[in-house]
Amino acid sequence: MIWFRKRLLVYLIILSVAIFLSAKQAEFSLISLFQLNNTWDFIQRNFWPIRWELLPYLLEQSLVTLGVAFLGTFAALVIALPVSFLAAANTSVSKFGYFTIRSSLSLVRSIPEIVFGLVFVVSLGLGPFAALMAIFLHNVGVLGKLISELVEAADSGPQEAMKSVGSSRRIGQIFAIIPQIWPNVLSHYFYRFEVAIRTSLVLGMIGGGGLGQSLMNYYNSLAYESMATAIVIIMGLVILVDVMGGIVRKRVI
C-alpha cells in the first residue's frame, strides 16, 4: 500500500460528495438513462433520408460559418500575439501593466461568446457580423492567456544571447521567443479555430447567420431530414479544419 496515503481518503470523500451533489443538480437518473433508446428511435425515424438537394444551399451557409470562425479567430490572434508579451511576467513593461492586462484578458475570457452574441445581435443587428465580433472578443482573451503562458515558459538562453549582442529589449524578445513558441501558437490557433466553428453554429441559432441559423430554422419547423443534412456538413467542416491544422503544423515543425 506504499502508493496510498491517508490524505487520499480525504480526497476520495470530497470527490464522492461532489459527484453526489452534481448528480442531484443535474437530475441524473438511471431510469431516464434507459430511455436513451428513444433518442436512437427519434434519430432513425426522422433523420432519414438525408435531403441532398439542400446541399448547395447549406454549403453556401457553411462558407458564412467558416468565414465568421476564421476571421474572428485570426483577428484575435493578430491582437493577442503582441498583447501576450505585455501579459507575460518575463516580458511585461511593468508589474502594474502585467496585472492590468492579465486581468483584462481574464475578464474578456470570462464572458461566454453567446453572451457577447446576444448583446451584439441587438446592438449591431442580426447577421454574421455580430457572431464575428463575439468570437473575436472571446478569443483575444483565450489566445492572449495561452500565448502569454508560452512566452513565460520559453527558454531564456536565446534572450540572454540577444541581450549580449546589444540588441534592444523588444527586438531581442521578438527574435528569441517567437521562433521558439511558433509551432505551439499555431496549434493553439487551430484548436481555437475548430472551437469557433462550433461556436459560430451556436451563435447562428441566436441570429448570427450561417449553418447554425439554418439548423435552428429546420429544427423549429420540424424539418428533421433537412437538419440531418446540416449536421453532416458540420461534421465534414470540423474534420476538414482538423486535418488542415495538422498539415500546417507538420509543415511548420
Partner 1 sequence: MISFDNVSVTYTSEKEMALSQLSVEISEGEFICVLGKSGAGKSTFIRTINLLQPVTKGTVHVSGENLDRLSEKETRRLRTEVGMIFQHFNLIPRLSVKQNVLTGRFGQKKAFENLLGLFTKQERDLADYYLEEVGLLPFANRRVEHLSGGQKQRVGIARAMMQEPSILLGDEPVASLDPTTSKNIFQLLTRLHEQRQLTTVINVHDVELAKNFATRILGLKDGKLVFDGKPNQLTTKVYDDIYGHDIKSETFASQIK
Binding site for partner 1 (CB under 8 A): 157-158, 160-168, 170-172, 174-176, 179-180, 182
Q: Which helix (H) or strand (E) holds 67?
A: helix 55-86
Nearer to partner 1, 180 or 226 (CB): 180
CB of 247 to partner 1, least distance (A): 18
Separation CA 219–CA 47 (nearest Å): 11
Cβ atoms within 10 Å of 111's Cβ, excluding its own: 14
DSSP secondary structure code for residue 5 in this structure: -
Nearer to partner 1, 67 or 183 (CB): 183
Nearer to partner 1, 187 or 217 (CB): 187
CB of 157 to partner 1, least distance (A): 4
| Residue 156 one-letter amino acid | S
Cβ atoms within 10 Å of 213's Cβ, excluding its own: 24
> 179: cis peptide before it, omega within 30°?
no
Asked if residue 232 lies in contact with residue 47, where contact means CB atoms within 8 angstroms, the answer is no
Nearer to partner 1, 56 or 166 (CB): 166
Separation CA 17–CA 75 (nearest Å): 43
Q: Which helix (H) or strand (E) holds 139?
A: helix 128-153
CB of 94 to partner 1, least distance (A): 15
The C-alpha cell that represents 72 in the structure block? 474572428
Nearer to partner 1, 127 or 158 (CB): 158
CB of 186 to partner 1, least distance (A): 12
The C-alpha cell that represents 120 in the structure block? 451584439
C-alpha 168 chain-centroid distance: 35
CB of 89 to partner 1, least distance (A): 17
Nearer to partner 1, 183 or 245 (CB): 183
CB of 177 to partner 1, least distance (A): 9
